[in-house]
Amino acid sequence: MSKEPSSDMVRKGSCVCGDISLEVRGEPVRVAACYCDHCRVNSGGFAQLGARFPSSALIVHDPNSLLNSYTFTDTSSGNPKQKYFCRTCGSNLYAAVNVPDGEGIVSVRVPILDPKFEDKGLHPKIEGFPQNKPRFLEDLEKQSQL
């Protein structure tokens, strides 16, 4: 049985070009940094930060029908995962997973919700595939800063 997300908190974000915007209502179920191969390649970085919400919490505004998707079928869970992105600028917006016997889950890319996400309580509290985390990240704080 799904329960309605709290309407108290509303977070908004958009792709780089601004053609697609979205909002999520309520607090995330969890915020994670994922180091799996899909997430690292998809983000173009070392990890992807995702805030998980029930699918019913997400509202997408796409007036020009620019939202595109790609389905990963080779996931570690065995459940297909759809990646959604802007056809114009390529911004990775969110992923959706349908879990058996439950409501779908969306993982919204945290940096699109708020560039100061850490100050807003959206810092990751869990890591996925930590065995893939680059070891040099541990020492980065000790290095020279730009």
- Domain encompassing residue 97: 10-131
Tally of structural domains, the chain? 1
Query: Where do we find the tokens 């959206």?
Result: 122
The predicted model scores a pTM of 0.81
Q: Is residue 142 part of a domain?
A: no
- pLDDT tens for 50-106 read 999 999 999 999 999 999 999 888 877 777 889 999 999 999 999 997 666 667 889
Structural contact between residues 53 and 105, judged by C-beta atoms closer than 8 angstroms: yes
Structural contact between residues 22 and 13, judged by C-beta atoms closer than 8 angstroms: yes
Distance CA 10, CA 12 (A): 7
CATH number at residue 36: 2.170.150.70
Q: What is the pLDDT of residue 119?
A: 60
Q: What is the pLDDT of residue 3?
A: 46
Identify the bridge partners of residue 107 per DSSP, sorted by sequence position: 52, 95
Distance CA 70, CA 72 (A): 7
